[in-house]
Chains A and B, each alone.
Chain A
Amino acid sequence: MKIKFFLAAFLVATALSLGLMANASSGGGKDAAKDSSAPTVSAEQSAALNESMHVEGEKRFRSNCGRCHAAPPKFPPRMMTTIVRHMRVRATITDQDMRLILRYMTE
């Protein structure tokens, strides 16, 4: 019985890992394609991008962090980096959300 559980856990872990790795690889490819074709951005475009990321970061912060607790104050950037890493693990926040939240909380 114990052996069955080990083997079952092994198979599930393998299947999940392969699936995620395939997904990760395809995601990385998209990112690379985006980077290679990215044109030079003007100051206006850069400001608009920053504003967009700020809005998106706030949205992600409210939907992820606000689900469990009241909004904390903004801590210094190096502290915030540790806190967000901790919460990434504890609350299984996605990498993309973590980056946007960290950016928003350190602006």
Chain B
Amino acid sequence: MCSNVRWPRKVAQAGLLGLFIIISLTVHAQDDGITADGFKAVPILTGSTAYFTRVTAGQYQDAPSVSPILLLPVGDKWLVEAKGSYSDTFSKNAQGDYHGTISYGMAYGQIDYIANRYMTFVAGRFTTPFNIYGERLAPNWIRALQTGPLTSPVTSGSALGGMMRGGFPGTDSLNVTYALYFSANNTHHLLATDRSTGGRLGFFLPHQRLEVGASFQQVLQADRPHSSGVFLEWQPNRAPLTIRSEYVRSSGTKGSAYWIESVYRLSQISALRRLELVGRGEQFFAASNLSAATVKKLGALGKDTNEGDFGLNYYLRSDVRASASYGRQFVLGRDANLWVVGMTYRFVMPMLPQGGAR
């Protein structure tokens, strides 16, 4: 009886595997390789280091961190990429002494296969393709404000499984991007993921420098909540301004949230051309009808929250950035000031001697 019930699932899994193989073989002949100009890709170690002092509601934290990324190209179509993270957070304990807490993990460890110009297959542990913050803006040398947005905890940030993604020009003035994934459940304390599926569809207008898109995620375990979201990113041609926004809504106990961020580079003033002004406003709406026990269990996700942040980023070089920001968080009965000051350094180095030679 059990085997009778399970066989359609196995057929579906076999079908997906078969589809992967067939598509790979079919499109192989259409592709002329991605290595333009005859350069052979070289393994690279990149990533960032950072040192930030945070003061959250009067509590000091000093946190040096490093996030290395290994990029290992194999041939013209494969790329192995892995990102780790290590940080030591120092804060005062009950005795008034500074005490360090080490944390480490693997953000992603994935194998990419560029099947053709429209499609890439990814397998392993990867960042969930939901909206834009997690995949593109989260690294501390990229994010405009070091405090994460209130939308981040609403969805599953990492996945373990397979993904199909890519981008292609729909017309001369429109690029379409997509990502579809499936993730298995993993209970390892460092690599935990939910069993889930979902995807993202984006439309990029390169002339207007405007991108809009939508995401969906269905968790396939526990109370099986689903999340949906939309995002926008716009860089007007006439001003060194970037406007970004995300909205996320969850059907479960995690509520909904949105943020709007603007980044203005003072490139028109020669003395201040390395300086960026950043502002972000955001709101989190806790799910309604939560019991007192659930609110306690959810912690920050159990209460409505409003937050406004303002920050400055100064680029000493293109890879060294000093940042400072102030934020005010409004939570029922516990408003807080959020101060952050620190520096980031992005490094890139070849893993072979002669990395720059042909």
Contact = CB atoms under 8 A, between A and B. Distances in A.
Real binding pair: yes
A85 B355 contact: no
A16, A20, A76, A88: residue with the most chain B Cβ atoms closer than 10 Å: A20
B118 A67 contact: no
Contacts of B197: 5, 9
Nearest to B119: A20
A28 B220 CA distance: 39
B19 A79 contact: no
A25 B209 contact: no
Contacts of A85: 34, 41, 71, 73, 79, 114
B9 A68 contact: no
Interface stretch (B177-185, B186-194, B245-253): B177-185
Contact of B12 (A6, A21, A90, A97): A6
Contacts of B224: 1
Interface residues of B, number: 73
Contacts of A75: 348, 356
Nearest to B78: A85
A36 interface: no
B257 to A, nearest CB: 21
Contacts of B220: 1-2, 5
Given A20-B168, A80-B39, A9 B79 contact: no
B180 A16 contact: yes
Contacts of B242: 67
B225 interface: no
Contacts of B9: 2-3, 6
Contacts of A10: 12, 15-16, 19
A51 to B, nearest CB: 17
Interface string A80-105: 11110110111111111111001100
B205 to A, nearest CB: 9
Interface residues of A, number: 58
Given A63-B206, A102-B36, A25 B30 contact: yes
Contacts of A43: none
A85 B40 CA distance: 11
B218 to A, nearest CB: 7
Contacts of B178: 16, 92
A96 to B, nearest CB: 6
Contacts of A97: 167, 175, 206
A6, A16, A72, A106: residue with the most chain B Cβ atoms closer than 10 Å: A6
Interface in B219-270: 220, 224, 233, 235, 242
A78 B358 contact: yes
Interface of B: 8-9, 12-13, 15-16, 19, 23, 26-27, 30, 34-37, 39-44, 46, 71, 73, 79, 81, 112, 114, 116-120, 122, 135-137, 141-142, 164-169, 175, 177-180, 182, 197, 202, 206, 209, 211, 218, 220, 224, 233, 235, 242, 315, 318-319, 321, 346, 348, 350, 355-358
